[in-house]
Amino acid sequence: MIIVDAHQHYWQPSRGDYGWLADAPASLRRSFLPVDLLAERKAAGVTFSVLVQAAPTEQETRYLFELARHDPAVIGVVGWVDMEADDVGARIDALIHAGDGLLCGLRPMVQDMADPDWLAKPSLDRAFDCIQERCLSFDALVGMPHLSALCRRLRRHPQLKVVLDHAGKPAIGDGRFDQWTAWIDELSQHPPLHCKLSGLLTLLGEPMHEDAIEPYVADLFAHFGAARLIWGSDWPVLTTHASFSHWLTVALNLTERYAPGSQADVFAANAARFYARDIAAAKTRLNMPAAS
């Protein structure tokens, strides 16, 4: 089975634009580059990946394009753009040109913003118009404080192709299930919205067992179904709690439990469709048989 990791990162701290790393676990404050993932990804049986921004600069997005050109498994890049810039359309066009087919979406780092209503600001309307006009996707990196603003944004842009990163970061450690599932219920009413089955293990508090994520996964399948869930590793953030292969196995087992027979969709087809990636062409680039 072809597996697409729809959410992984590379970063190089010496570039100087990863401000959030200062407060991250010490194990993450080093470079994570293709050479660090290649063997682990191959051993887990993951064929392709979508590379997601980790710094709020357009320069980092261009850096990811360069890394992607040296990692043939990368089939797309979700980048960053200054969405409040007056020339946001020209900036997006410049990134599309620089990516030469790699740019498939954009992601502001909303979780790090002090204003929980930022996503709903009317001043962002032009940026979201441009994202839709360029047929790009929007990755919503939000936590529960931002879900209300996200719902308001979706009412203003009902055709926006959006994916909720890490299931909206439920407060698993605090056990606040009801509040989170109420937001998921509202968000799931937006047909174009997909949700990433990613980042859940890193939300566990100590000494919680990983089984604590199961009610959340069950709720995601109940609300979105197998057709709108997309698996991602969130590597290397994942490494603070589990190995690449372990999270993949956990996610495969949970998918088979709550949506039997849908693994090909959750672990490949949904990501390819959502991000408009040509898997057949990617196979050819890797010299893989077309039917594999």
Q: What is the residue range of 52's domain?
A: 4-285
Closest by Cα among 291, 216, 286, 292 to 258: 216
Closest by Cα among 239, 246, 13, 50 to 163: 50
273 located within any domain:
yes
Coil/strand/helix, residue 86: coil
Q: What pLDDT was estimated at residue 291?
A: 54
pLDDT per residue of the chain (292 residues) written in tens, 0 to 9 = 999 999 999 999 999 999 999 999 999 999 999 999 999 999 999 999 999 999 999 999 999 999 999 999 999 999 999 999 999 999 999 999 999 999 999 999 999 999 999 999 999 999 999 999 999 999 999 999 999 999 999 999 999 999 999 999 999 988 779 999 999 999 999 999 999 999 999 999 888 899 999 999 999 999 999 999 999 999 999 999 999 999 999 999 999 999 999 999 999 999 999 999 999 989 888 877 765 4
290 located within any domain:
no
Q: Full-prediction pTM beyond 0.95? A: yes
195 located within any domain:
yes
122 located within any domain:
yes
Helix (H) or strand (E) holding 28: none
Q: What type of residue sits at position 282?
A: A
Strand 162-164 and strand 137-140: the pairing is parallel
Per-residue pLDDT tens digits for 159-181: 999 999 999 999 998 877 999 99
292 located within any domain:
no
Per-residue pLDDT tens digits for 211-251: 999 999 999 999 999 999 999 999 999 999 999 999 999 99
Task: State how many domains the chain has.
Answer: 1
> The domain spanning residue 38 has which CATH number?
3.20.20.140
Q: With contact defined as beta carbons under 8 Å apart, do 230 and 274 qualify?
A: yes
212 located within any domain:
yes
Number of H helices, E strands in the chain: 11, 8
